[in-house]
Structure 1
Amino acid sequence: MRPSVLKYVRVRDYLRSLVTHELDVGDAIPSERLLCERFGVSRMTVRQAVDALVVEGLLEREQGRGTFVAPAKLDLEVRLSSFGEEMARRGMVASSRVIAAEVVPATPDVADALDLLPGESVHHLHRVRYADGEPMAIEQSWVPQLLVPGLFDDGPPASIYGELRAVGLEPDWGEDTVAASEVDAQGAAMLGLRAGAAVLRLARRTFAGQTACVYSRSSYRADRYVLWVPLRAPRRPLTPRRSAGDGAVPDGPVERGVDVTT
Protein backbone atom coordinates (compact mmCIF):
# COMPACT_ATOMS: atom_id res chain seq x y z
CA MET A 1 0.00 0.00 0.00
CA ARG A 2 1.39 3.41 -0.99
CA PRO A 3 2.29 5.73 1.95
CA SER A 4 -0.25 8.37 0.83
CA VAL A 5 -3.00 5.75 0.75
CA LEU A 6 -1.97 4.43 4.17
CA LYS A 7 -2.23 7.95 5.65
CA TYR A 8 -5.73 8.35 4.18
CA VAL A 9 -6.81 5.01 5.66
CA ARG A 10 -5.42 5.91 9.10
CA VAL A 11 -7.39 9.17 9.19
CA ARG A 12 -10.55 7.50 7.89
CA ASP A 13 -10.39 4.64 10.39
CA TYR A 14 -9.68 7.04 13.26
CA LEU A 15 -12.74 9.11 12.38
CA ARG A 16 -14.89 6.00 11.97
CA SER A 17 -13.87 4.79 15.44
CA LEU A 18 -14.51 8.25 16.88
CA VAL A 19 -18.01 8.36 15.37
CA THR A 20 -18.84 4.81 16.47
CA HIS A 21 -17.52 4.87 20.04
CA GLU A 22 -17.15 8.43 21.31
CA LEU A 23 -19.27 11.00 19.51
CA ASP A 24 -23.04 11.38 19.48
CA VAL A 25 -25.35 12.26 16.61
CA GLY A 26 -24.93 15.94 15.77
CA ASP A 27 -21.45 16.25 17.31
CA ALA A 28 -18.81 17.99 15.20
CA ILE A 29 -15.70 16.07 14.19
CA PRO A 30 -12.22 17.52 14.84
CA SER A 31 -11.21 20.34 12.51
CA GLU A 32 -9.10 19.73 9.41
CA ARG A 33 -6.21 21.62 11.06
CA LEU A 34 -6.24 19.36 14.14
CA LEU A 35 -6.41 16.21 12.01
CA CYS A 36 -3.56 17.42 9.80
CA GLU A 37 -1.42 18.06 12.89
CA ARG A 38 -2.34 14.76 14.56
CA PHE A 39 -1.53 12.58 11.54
CA GLY A 40 1.03 14.75 9.75
CA VAL A 41 -0.96 14.78 6.53
CA SER A 42 -2.21 17.37 4.05
CA ARG A 43 -5.68 18.91 4.06
CA MET A 44 -6.42 17.02 0.83
CA THR A 45 -5.76 13.68 2.59
CA VAL A 46 -8.05 14.67 5.47
CA ARG A 47 -10.79 15.73 3.06
CA GLN A 48 -10.54 12.43 1.20
CA ALA A 49 -11.03 10.55 4.48
CA VAL A 50 -13.98 12.73 5.48
CA ASP A 51 -15.51 12.41 1.99
CA ALA A 52 -15.42 8.61 2.28
CA LEU A 53 -17.37 8.71 5.56
CA VAL A 54 -19.87 11.20 4.13
CA VAL A 55 -20.52 8.78 1.26
CA GLU A 56 -20.96 5.94 3.79
CA GLY A 57 -23.54 8.06 5.63
CA LEU A 58 -21.59 8.25 8.90
CA LEU A 59 -20.93 11.98 8.54
CA GLU A 60 -22.88 14.86 7.03
CA ARG A 61 -21.71 18.29 5.94
CA GLU A 62 -23.60 21.49 6.64
CA GLN A 63 -22.51 24.33 4.45
CA GLY A 64 -20.96 27.14 6.45
CA ARG A 65 -21.05 25.16 9.72
CA GLY A 66 -18.85 22.08 9.42
CA THR A 67 -19.04 18.29 9.42
CA PHE A 68 -21.11 16.39 11.97
CA VAL A 69 -22.03 12.86 12.99
CA ALA A 70 -25.03 11.82 10.91
CA PRO A 71 -28.11 10.05 12.32
CA ALA A 72 -27.87 6.28 12.10
CA LYS A 73 -29.51 4.81 9.02
CA LEU A 74 -32.46 2.45 9.40
CA ASP A 75 -32.39 -0.83 7.55
CA LEU A 76 -35.10 -1.74 5.09
CA GLU A 77 -35.70 -5.47 5.31
CA VAL A 78 -38.19 -8.07 4.18
CA ARG A 79 -41.21 -7.56 6.38
CA LEU A 80 -44.98 -7.14 5.94
CA SER A 81 -45.88 -4.80 8.79
CA SER A 82 -47.42 -1.41 9.35
CA PHE A 83 -45.23 1.66 9.60
CA GLY A 84 -46.25 2.04 13.24
CA GLU A 85 -45.36 -1.57 14.03
CA GLU A 86 -41.99 -1.20 12.32
CA MET A 87 -41.09 2.00 14.13
CA ALA A 88 -42.22 0.54 17.47
CA ARG A 89 -39.88 -2.39 16.84
CA ARG A 90 -37.06 0.13 16.53
CA GLY A 91 -38.13 1.99 19.69
CA MET A 92 -39.40 5.00 17.75
CA VAL A 93 -42.76 6.78 17.75
CA ALA A 94 -44.55 6.81 14.40
CA SER A 95 -46.86 9.52 13.12
CA SER A 96 -48.25 10.69 9.79
CA ARG A 97 -49.35 13.85 8.03
CA VAL A 98 -52.18 13.16 5.60
CA ILE A 99 -51.92 14.92 2.27
CA ALA A 100 -55.01 13.30 0.71
CA ALA A 101 -57.58 10.63 1.61
CA GLU A 102 -60.15 10.17 -1.14
CA VAL A 103 -61.94 7.72 -3.38
CA VAL A 104 -60.74 8.08 -6.97
CA PRO A 105 -60.99 6.18 -10.28
CA ALA A 106 -58.08 3.79 -10.72
CA THR A 107 -55.57 4.96 -13.31
CA PRO A 108 -54.33 2.27 -15.73
CA ASP A 109 -51.12 1.57 -13.76
CA VAL A 110 -52.95 1.33 -10.42
CA ALA A 111 -55.68 -0.83 -12.00
CA ASP A 112 -53.07 -3.22 -13.41
CA ALA A 113 -51.34 -3.52 -10.05
CA LEU A 114 -54.63 -4.31 -8.24
CA ASP A 115 -56.14 -6.55 -10.94
CA LEU A 116 -58.91 -4.03 -11.61
CA LEU A 117 -60.31 -2.34 -14.67
CA PRO A 118 -59.24 1.27 -15.25
CA GLY A 119 -61.78 3.60 -13.71
CA GLU A 120 -62.88 1.27 -10.91
CA SER A 121 -63.04 3.01 -7.53
CA VAL A 122 -60.05 2.82 -5.22
CA HIS A 123 -59.21 4.42 -1.88
CA HIS A 124 -56.19 6.70 -2.28
CA LEU A 125 -54.19 7.63 0.83
CA HIS A 126 -51.25 10.03 0.47
CA ARG A 127 -49.14 10.58 3.59
CA VAL A 128 -45.81 11.79 4.92
CA ARG A 129 -44.54 9.23 7.43
CA TYR A 130 -42.59 10.36 10.50
CA ALA A 131 -40.43 8.63 13.13
CA ASP A 132 -39.82 10.53 16.35
CA GLY A 133 -41.10 13.64 14.61
CA GLU A 134 -38.65 13.41 11.69
CA PRO A 135 -40.01 12.89 8.15
CA MET A 136 -38.85 9.53 6.79
CA ALA A 137 -40.92 8.81 3.70
CA ILE A 138 -43.68 9.95 1.38
CA GLU A 139 -46.18 7.20 0.75
CA GLN A 140 -49.14 6.78 -1.58
CA SER A 141 -51.38 3.74 -1.20
CA TRP A 142 -54.35 2.48 -3.20
CA VAL A 143 -56.91 -0.07 -1.97
CA PRO A 144 -59.88 -1.39 -4.01
CA GLN A 145 -63.01 0.22 -2.60
CA LEU A 146 -64.96 -3.03 -2.88
CA LEU A 147 -62.57 -4.76 -0.45
CA VAL A 148 -62.96 -2.22 2.38
CA PRO A 149 -65.92 0.06 1.54
CA GLY A 150 -65.71 2.05 4.79
CA LEU A 151 -61.95 2.55 4.90
CA PHE A 152 -62.25 6.34 5.34
CA ASP A 153 -65.54 6.45 7.28
CA ASP A 154 -63.81 7.41 10.52
CA GLY A 155 -61.05 9.41 8.85
CA PRO A 156 -57.77 8.17 7.40
CA PRO A 157 -56.74 4.94 9.15
CA ALA A 158 -53.51 4.71 11.12
CA SER A 159 -52.75 1.36 9.48
CA ILE A 160 -54.15 0.07 6.19
CA TYR A 161 -52.97 -3.43 7.06
CA GLY A 162 -54.89 -3.24 10.32
CA GLU A 163 -58.08 -2.26 8.47
CA LEU A 164 -57.63 -5.15 6.05
CA ARG A 165 -57.22 -7.60 8.92
CA ALA A 166 -60.42 -6.23 10.48
CA VAL A 167 -62.41 -7.34 7.43
CA GLY A 168 -60.75 -10.76 7.23
CA LEU A 169 -58.03 -9.97 4.70
CA GLU A 170 -54.66 -10.94 6.17
CA PRO A 171 -51.77 -9.48 4.13
CA ASP A 172 -49.47 -12.48 3.89
CA TRP A 173 -47.13 -11.77 1.00
CA GLY A 174 -46.11 -9.15 -1.50
CA GLU A 175 -43.59 -8.14 -4.10
CA ASP A 176 -41.44 -5.03 -4.26
CA THR A 177 -39.46 -3.10 -6.82
CA VAL A 178 -36.72 -0.73 -5.71
CA ALA A 179 -35.01 2.09 -7.60
CA ALA A 180 -32.66 4.93 -6.72
CA SER A 181 -33.87 8.36 -7.74
CA GLU A 182 -33.76 12.08 -6.94
CA VAL A 183 -36.50 13.89 -5.06
CA ASP A 184 -38.32 16.75 -6.77
CA ALA A 185 -38.90 20.16 -5.19
CA GLN A 186 -42.32 19.23 -3.78
CA GLY A 187 -41.10 15.98 -2.25
CA ALA A 188 -37.99 17.69 -0.91
CA ALA A 189 -40.13 20.18 0.99
CA MET A 190 -42.14 17.35 2.56
CA LEU A 191 -39.03 15.41 3.63
CA GLY A 192 -36.89 18.35 4.69
CA LEU A 193 -34.34 17.69 1.95
CA ARG A 194 -32.84 19.76 -0.82
CA ALA A 195 -34.29 19.26 -4.29
CA GLY A 196 -32.32 16.58 -6.12
CA ALA A 197 -31.34 14.68 -2.96
CA ALA A 198 -31.23 10.91 -3.23
CA VAL A 199 -34.26 8.81 -2.32
CA LEU A 200 -35.16 5.13 -2.51
CA ARG A 201 -38.34 4.66 -4.52
CA LEU A 202 -40.21 1.50 -3.62
CA ALA A 203 -43.35 0.08 -5.20
CA ARG A 204 -45.21 -2.76 -3.53
CA ARG A 205 -48.11 -5.02 -4.38
CA THR A 206 -49.52 -6.62 -1.24
CA PHE A 207 -51.65 -9.77 -1.38
CA ALA A 208 -54.00 -11.60 0.94
CA GLY A 209 -53.90 -15.06 -0.56
CA GLN A 210 -54.48 -14.44 -4.26
CA THR A 211 -56.23 -11.10 -3.75
CA ALA A 212 -54.26 -7.98 -4.61
CA CYS A 213 -55.34 -5.69 -1.78
CA VAL A 214 -52.86 -2.78 -1.65
CA TYR A 215 -50.62 -1.07 -4.15
CA SER A 216 -48.21 1.48 -2.71
CA ARG A 217 -45.45 3.76 -3.94
CA SER A 218 -43.06 5.27 -1.43
CA SER A 219 -40.04 7.56 -1.47
CA TYR A 220 -37.68 6.91 1.45
CA ARG A 221 -34.89 9.26 2.47
CA ALA A 222 -31.64 7.69 1.29
CA ASP A 223 -29.76 9.54 4.04
CA ARG A 224 -31.78 7.68 6.68
CA TYR A 225 -32.16 4.22 5.14
CA VAL A 226 -29.84 1.52 3.93
CA LEU A 227 -31.10 -1.43 1.90
CA TRP A 228 -30.74 -4.74 3.74
CA VAL A 229 -31.83 -7.94 1.98
CA PRO A 230 -31.32 -11.42 3.49
CA LEU A 231 -30.49 -14.01 0.84
CA ARG A 232 -31.18 -17.72 0.72
CA ALA A 233 -31.15 -20.42 -1.90
CA PRO A 234 -34.57 -20.79 -3.58
CA ARG A 235 -36.56 -23.89 -2.67
CA ARG A 236 -37.89 -24.10 -6.20
CA PRO A 237 -36.97 -22.50 -9.50
CA LEU A 238 -38.06 -18.86 -9.67
CA THR A 239 -39.76 -17.89 -12.91
CA PRO A 240 -39.30 -14.40 -14.36
CA ARG A 241 -42.00 -12.01 -13.20
CA ARG A 242 -43.30 -9.03 -15.02
CA SER A 243 -43.44 -5.68 -13.26
CA ALA A 244 -46.49 -4.58 -11.31
CA GLY A 245 -47.46 -2.18 -14.06
CA ASP A 246 -48.00 -4.76 -16.79
CA GLY A 247 -50.81 -6.74 -15.21
CA ALA A 248 -48.93 -9.83 -14.07
CA VAL A 249 -50.68 -11.95 -11.42
CA PRO A 250 -48.02 -13.86 -9.41
CA ASP A 251 -48.59 -17.43 -8.29
CA GLY A 252 -47.45 -16.89 -4.72
CA PRO A 253 -44.90 -15.24 -2.46
CA VAL A 254 -41.75 -13.89 -4.05
CA GLU A 255 -38.53 -14.71 -2.22
CA ARG A 256 -37.02 -11.25 -2.54
CA GLY A 257 -37.73 -7.64 -1.70
CA VAL A 258 -37.47 -5.07 1.04
CA ASP A 259 -39.79 -3.61 3.57
CA VAL A 260 -42.29 -0.96 2.56
CA THR A 261 -44.48 -0.47 5.59
CA THR A 262 -48.10 0.47 5.01
Structure 2
Amino acid sequence: MNVMSASAQLPPSDRVINGPTPKHAQLREILRRTVERELPPGSPIPSERDLAETYQVSRLTVRSAIGKLVEEGLLSRVRGKGTFTAARRMELQLYLMSFTEDMRRRGMTPTTEVVKTATEVPPAPSAHALGLTAGTPAHHLVRLRRADGVPLAVERGWYHAGRMPGLLDLDLTRSLYVQLAQSYDLRPDHAWQTVWAESADRETARLLGMRAGSPLLVFRRVSSVNGEPIEDMTSWYRGDHYQVTMQLDRNTPDSGQHPHYGGTR
Protein backbone atom coordinates (compact mmCIF):
# COMPACT_ATOMS: atom_id res chain seq x y z
CA MET A 1 0.00 0.00 0.00
CA ASN A 2 1.65 3.22 -1.10
CA VAL A 3 1.19 6.17 1.21
CA MET A 4 0.26 9.31 -0.70
CA SER A 5 0.34 12.90 0.41
CA ALA A 6 -3.28 13.70 -0.37
CA SER A 7 -6.49 11.95 -1.33
CA ALA A 8 -6.53 13.79 -4.67
CA GLN A 9 -3.84 11.40 -5.87
CA LEU A 10 -6.10 8.41 -5.25
CA PRO A 11 -8.43 6.91 -7.85
CA PRO A 12 -12.10 7.83 -7.27
CA SER A 13 -12.93 4.35 -5.94
CA ASP A 14 -10.32 4.76 -3.19
CA ARG A 15 -11.33 8.19 -1.95
CA VAL A 16 -13.24 8.89 1.23
CA ILE A 17 -15.97 11.43 0.53
CA ASN A 18 -18.75 13.21 2.36
CA GLY A 19 -21.99 11.32 1.92
CA PRO A 20 -24.54 9.00 3.52
CA THR A 21 -21.98 6.25 4.15
CA PRO A 22 -19.88 6.96 7.27
CA LYS A 23 -16.24 7.70 6.52
CA HIS A 24 -14.96 4.87 8.71
CA ALA A 25 -17.11 2.42 6.73
CA GLN A 26 -15.77 3.78 3.43
CA LEU A 27 -12.21 3.53 4.63
CA ARG A 28 -12.77 0.03 5.97
CA GLU A 29 -13.87 -1.20 2.54
CA ILE A 30 -10.94 0.54 0.85
CA LEU A 31 -8.51 -1.12 3.22
CA ARG A 32 -10.27 -4.45 2.81
CA ARG A 33 -9.85 -4.33 -0.99
CA THR A 34 -6.19 -3.38 -0.66
CA VAL A 35 -5.46 -6.18 1.82
CA GLU A 36 -7.29 -8.84 -0.18
CA ARG A 37 -5.88 -7.87 -3.58
CA GLU A 38 -2.41 -6.48 -2.95
CA LEU A 39 -0.89 -7.50 0.37
CA PRO A 40 0.35 -10.99 1.25
CA PRO A 41 -0.21 -12.37 4.78
CA GLY A 42 2.02 -10.79 7.40
CA SER A 43 2.50 -7.51 5.52
CA PRO A 44 2.58 -4.30 7.59
CA ILE A 45 0.04 -1.62 6.83
CA PRO A 46 0.80 2.11 7.12
CA SER A 47 0.49 3.84 10.47
CA GLU A 48 -2.72 5.55 11.57
CA ARG A 49 -1.05 8.89 10.96
CA ASP A 50 -0.07 8.02 7.39
CA LEU A 51 -3.49 6.60 6.60
CA ALA A 52 -5.20 9.69 8.00
CA GLU A 53 -3.02 11.90 5.79
CA THR A 54 -3.50 9.75 2.70
CA TYR A 55 -7.28 9.59 2.92
CA GLN A 56 -7.81 13.01 4.52
CA VAL A 57 -9.69 11.67 7.53
CA SER A 58 -9.19 11.82 11.27
CA ARG A 59 -7.10 9.29 13.14
CA LEU A 60 -10.25 8.31 15.05
CA THR A 61 -11.82 7.34 11.71
CA VAL A 62 -8.72 5.31 10.82
CA ARG A 63 -8.71 3.62 14.21
CA SER A 64 -12.38 2.66 13.85
CA ALA A 65 -11.86 1.21 10.36
CA ILE A 66 -8.82 -0.80 11.40
CA GLY A 67 -10.53 -2.01 14.57
CA LYS A 68 -13.37 -3.54 12.59
CA LEU A 69 -10.95 -5.33 10.27
CA VAL A 70 -9.07 -6.67 13.30
CA GLU A 71 -12.34 -7.98 14.72
CA GLU A 72 -13.04 -9.70 11.40
CA GLY A 73 -9.62 -11.33 11.47
CA LEU A 74 -8.36 -9.59 8.31
CA LEU A 75 -5.79 -7.54 10.23
CA SER A 76 -3.80 -8.33 13.34
CA ARG A 77 -2.24 -5.91 15.85
CA VAL A 78 1.18 -6.77 17.28
CA ARG A 79 2.09 -4.89 20.43
CA GLY A 80 5.00 -2.53 19.90
CA LYS A 81 5.26 -3.32 16.19
CA GLY A 82 2.11 -2.17 14.41
CA THR A 83 -0.74 -3.65 12.41
CA PHE A 84 -0.29 -6.43 9.87
CA THR A 85 -2.37 -8.38 7.43
CA ALA A 86 -3.41 -11.53 9.24
CA ALA A 87 -1.67 -14.78 8.44
CA ARG A 88 -3.77 -17.33 6.63
CA ARG A 89 -5.55 -19.57 9.09
CA MET A 90 -4.02 -22.99 9.56
CA GLU A 91 -6.19 -26.06 9.28
CA LEU A 92 -6.50 -27.67 12.69
CA GLN A 93 -6.45 -31.35 11.89
CA LEU A 94 -8.62 -33.58 14.02
CA TYR A 95 -6.36 -36.54 14.68
CA LEU A 96 -3.92 -37.65 17.36
CA MET A 97 -0.72 -35.75 16.58
CA SER A 98 1.56 -33.76 18.85
CA PHE A 99 1.77 -29.98 18.50
CA THR A 100 5.53 -30.34 17.96
CA GLU A 101 5.07 -32.84 15.14
CA ASP A 102 2.24 -30.83 13.56
CA MET A 103 4.22 -27.57 13.49
CA ARG A 104 7.34 -29.24 12.12
CA ARG A 105 5.23 -30.83 9.40
CA ARG A 106 4.12 -27.33 8.42
CA GLY A 107 7.73 -26.14 8.24
CA MET A 108 7.46 -24.08 11.45
CA THR A 109 9.59 -24.10 14.59
CA PRO A 110 7.58 -25.09 17.70
CA THR A 111 8.47 -23.93 21.21
CA THR A 112 6.79 -24.49 24.56
CA GLU A 113 6.69 -22.41 27.73
CA VAL A 114 5.66 -24.13 30.95
CA VAL A 115 3.29 -21.78 32.80
CA LYS A 116 2.33 -23.96 35.77
CA THR A 117 2.91 -27.44 37.19
CA ALA A 118 1.34 -28.95 40.29
CA THR A 119 0.08 -32.21 41.73
CA GLU A 120 -3.27 -31.47 43.28
CA VAL A 121 -6.87 -32.58 43.47
CA PRO A 122 -8.56 -31.92 40.10
CA PRO A 123 -12.04 -30.51 39.65
CA ALA A 124 -14.81 -33.10 39.63
CA PRO A 125 -15.25 -33.27 35.81
CA SER A 126 -11.54 -34.00 35.31
CA ALA A 127 -11.46 -36.53 38.15
CA HIS A 128 -14.41 -38.31 36.55
CA ALA A 129 -12.79 -38.21 33.10
CA LEU A 130 -9.61 -39.79 34.48
CA GLY A 131 -11.49 -42.39 36.50
CA LEU A 132 -10.23 -41.04 39.83
CA THR A 133 -12.05 -41.26 43.13
CA ALA A 134 -12.91 -38.00 44.90
CA GLY A 135 -9.90 -36.41 46.58
CA THR A 136 -7.29 -38.29 44.53
CA PRO A 137 -4.58 -35.92 43.20
CA ALA A 138 -3.53 -35.67 39.56
CA HIS A 139 -0.77 -33.87 37.71
CA HIS A 140 -1.80 -30.40 36.52
CA LEU A 141 0.11 -28.88 33.62
CA VAL A 142 -0.39 -25.51 31.90
CA ARG A 143 1.69 -24.72 28.81
CA LEU A 144 1.88 -21.98 26.19
CA ARG A 145 2.58 -23.25 22.67
CA ARG A 146 4.27 -21.11 20.03
CA ALA A 147 5.20 -21.59 16.37
CA ASP A 148 7.93 -19.41 14.84
CA GLY A 149 7.69 -17.32 18.01
CA VAL A 150 3.95 -16.61 17.66
CA PRO A 151 1.76 -17.75 20.59
CA LEU A 152 -0.93 -20.04 19.19
CA ALA A 153 -2.44 -22.03 22.04
CA VAL A 154 -2.76 -22.33 25.80
CA GLU A 155 -3.09 -25.88 27.10
CA ARG A 156 -4.41 -26.72 30.56
CA GLY A 157 -4.39 -30.41 31.31
CA TRP A 158 -4.82 -33.01 34.03
CA TYR A 159 -2.87 -36.28 33.95
CA HIS A 160 -3.37 -39.55 35.82
CA ALA A 161 -0.58 -39.45 38.43
CA GLY A 162 -0.80 -43.15 39.20
CA ARG A 163 0.00 -44.10 35.60
CA MET A 164 2.81 -41.58 35.14
CA PRO A 165 4.66 -40.93 38.42
CA GLY A 166 7.27 -38.20 38.18
CA LEU A 167 5.71 -36.67 35.08
CA LEU A 168 6.33 -33.11 36.28
CA ASP A 169 10.06 -33.83 36.65
CA LEU A 170 10.42 -34.37 32.88
CA ASP A 171 11.42 -31.66 30.39
CA LEU A 172 7.90 -30.41 29.72
CA THR A 173 9.07 -27.96 27.05
CA ARG A 174 9.47 -31.00 24.77
CA SER A 175 6.72 -33.02 23.11
CA LEU A 176 4.71 -34.58 25.92
CA TYR A 177 3.52 -37.53 23.85
CA VAL A 178 7.10 -38.46 22.95
CA GLN A 179 8.06 -38.45 26.62
CA LEU A 180 5.01 -40.46 27.65
CA ALA A 181 6.14 -43.12 25.20
CA GLN A 182 9.79 -42.99 26.27
CA SER A 183 9.31 -42.81 30.03
CA TYR A 184 6.10 -44.79 30.60
CA ASP A 185 5.52 -46.74 27.40
CA LEU A 186 2.21 -44.92 27.09
CA ARG A 187 1.00 -44.14 23.56
CA PRO A 188 -2.50 -42.62 23.43
CA ASP A 189 -4.54 -44.61 20.93
CA HIS A 190 -8.03 -43.18 21.41
CA ALA A 191 -9.62 -39.87 22.38
CA TRP A 192 -12.96 -38.15 22.67
CA GLN A 193 -12.86 -34.47 21.84
CA THR A 194 -15.39 -31.67 22.22
CA VAL A 195 -15.04 -28.39 20.31
CA TRP A 196 -16.61 -25.03 21.05
CA ALA A 197 -15.98 -21.29 20.70
CA GLU A 198 -15.59 -18.74 23.47
CA SER A 199 -14.11 -15.33 24.19
CA ALA A 200 -10.66 -15.05 25.74
CA ASP A 201 -10.60 -14.33 29.46
CA ARG A 202 -7.99 -11.91 30.76
CA GLU A 203 -5.35 -14.51 31.65
CA THR A 204 -5.65 -16.49 28.41
CA ALA A 205 -5.62 -13.28 26.38
CA ARG A 206 -2.46 -12.14 28.18
CA LEU A 207 -0.67 -15.40 27.41
CA LEU A 208 -1.70 -15.30 23.75
CA GLY A 209 -0.94 -11.61 23.28
CA MET A 210 -4.57 -10.80 22.45
CA ARG A 211 -7.25 -8.52 23.80
CA ALA A 212 -9.63 -9.94 26.37
CA GLY A 213 -12.79 -10.98 24.58
CA SER A 214 -11.00 -12.05 21.38
CA PRO A 215 -12.42 -15.19 19.71
CA LEU A 216 -10.92 -18.57 20.57
CA LEU A 217 -11.44 -22.14 19.44
CA VAL A 218 -11.54 -24.47 22.44
CA PHE A 219 -10.89 -28.21 22.40
CA ARG A 220 -11.38 -30.54 25.35
CA ARG A 221 -9.90 -33.95 24.82
CA VAL A 222 -9.85 -37.05 27.01
CA SER A 223 -7.18 -39.46 25.78
CA SER A 224 -6.72 -43.08 26.73
CA VAL A 225 -4.30 -45.98 26.29
CA ASN A 226 -5.82 -49.44 25.88
CA GLY A 227 -9.10 -48.09 27.22
CA GLU A 228 -7.57 -46.49 30.34
CA PRO A 229 -7.85 -42.66 30.50
CA ILE A 230 -4.59 -40.81 31.14
CA GLU A 231 -5.22 -37.22 30.02
CA ASP A 232 -7.95 -34.58 30.28
CA MET A 233 -6.72 -31.61 28.27
CA THR A 234 -8.40 -28.36 27.26
CA SER A 235 -6.67 -26.20 24.65
CA TRP A 236 -7.50 -22.61 23.75
CA TYR A 237 -6.48 -21.70 20.18
CA ARG A 238 -6.34 -18.26 18.63
CA GLY A 239 -9.39 -17.89 16.41
CA ASP A 240 -7.51 -15.57 14.05
CA HIS A 241 -4.91 -18.26 13.26
CA TYR A 242 -6.93 -21.46 13.01
CA GLN A 243 -9.91 -22.94 11.27
CA VAL A 244 -11.35 -26.45 11.45
CA THR A 245 -12.47 -28.44 8.43
CA MET A 246 -14.33 -31.70 8.87
CA GLN A 247 -15.33 -34.35 6.37
CA LEU A 248 -18.92 -35.40 6.89
CA ASP A 249 -20.23 -38.70 5.55
CA ARG A 250 -23.76 -39.99 5.70
CA ASN A 251 -23.71 -42.86 8.17
CA THR A 252 -26.42 -44.43 10.23
CA PRO A 253 -26.23 -43.65 13.98
CA ASP A 254 -25.48 -47.28 14.84
CA SER A 255 -22.87 -47.80 12.13
CA GLY A 256 -20.08 -47.80 14.71
CA GLN A 257 -18.09 -45.19 12.77
CA HIS A 258 -16.78 -42.19 14.67
CA PRO A 259 -14.47 -39.33 13.71
CA HIS A 260 -10.84 -39.64 14.82
CA TYR A 261 -10.21 -36.70 17.09
CA GLY A 262 -6.96 -35.05 17.86
CA GLY A 263 -5.38 -31.87 19.03
CA THR A 264 -1.97 -30.74 20.18
CA ARG A 265 0.65 -31.93 22.61
Kept in 2: contact 1:28–1:68 (CA 8 A): no
Equivalent residue number for residue 89 of structure 1: 105
- Confirm or deny that 1:218 pairs with 2:235: yes
Equivalent residue number for residue 39 of structure 2: 19
Kept in 1: contact 2:113–2:173 (CA 8 A): no
Among candidates 116, 121, 144, match of residue 132 of structure 2? 116
TM-superposition CA deviations, 1:166-217 (whole Å, max 9, x none)? 3232212212112211112222221111222222222111122311121101
Kept in 2: contact 1:178–1:201 (CA 8 A): yes
TM-score (norm 1): 0.72
Among candidates 73, 94, 108, match of residue 78 of structure 1? 94
Equivalent residue number for residue 105 of structure 1: 121
Among candidates 148, 157, 166, match of residue 132 of structure 1? 148
Instruction: Report matched runs for 1:112-261 at 5 Å.
Output: 112-156=128-172, 158-166=174-182, 167-226=184-243, 228-233=244-249, 237=253, 254-255=258-259, 257=261, 259-261=262-264
Kept in 2: contact 1:26–1:71 (CA 8 A): no
Give me the whole-angstrom Cα distance separating, in 1, the residues matched to 2:70 and 2:158: 36
Kept in 1: contact 2:42–2:84 (CA 8 A): no
Kept in 2: contact 1:107–1:118 (CA 8 A): no
Among candidates 57, 63, 78, match of residue 73 of structure 2? 57
Give me the whole-angstrom Cα distance separating, in 2, the residues matched to 1:121 and 1:194: 34
Deviation at 1:11, TM superposition (A): 8.1
Give me the whole-angstrom Cα distance separating, in 2, the residues matched to 1:213 and 1:170: 10
TM-score (norm 2): 0.71
Give me the whole-angstrom Cα distance separating, in 2, the residues matched to 1:72 and 1:216: 26
AA at the equivalent of 1:219: W
Q: 1:100 to 1:253 in 2, by over 3 A?
A: farther
Q: 1:32 to 1:151 in 2, by over 3 A?
A: same
- The aligned length equals 236
AA at the equivalent of 1:95: T
Equivalent residue number for residue 16 of structure 2: none
Give me the whole-angstrom Cα distance separating, in 1, the residues matched to 2:34 and 2:205: 33
Q: 1:67 to 1:208 in 2, by over 3 A?
A: same
Q: Give SS of 1:87's match.
A: helix
Give me the whole-angstrom Cα distance separating, in 1, the residues matched to 2:171 and 2:53: 56
Give me the whole-angstrom Cα distance separating, in 2, the residues matched to 1:130 and 1:151: 22
Give me the whole-angstrom Cα distance separating, in 2, the residues matched to 1:157 and 1:61: 27
Deviation at 1:79, TM superposition (A): 2.0
Gaps of 5+ in 2: 1-20, 22-27
Give me the whole-angstrom Cα distance separating, in 2, the residues matched to 1:106 and 1:66: 41
- CA root-mean-square deviation: 3.8
Give me the whole-angstrom Cα distance separating, in 1, the residues matched to 2:83 and 2:173: 40
Kept in 2: contact 1:157–1:163 (CA 8 A): no
Kept in 2: contact 1:101–1:156 (CA 8 A): no
Equivalent residue number for residue 244 of structure 1: none
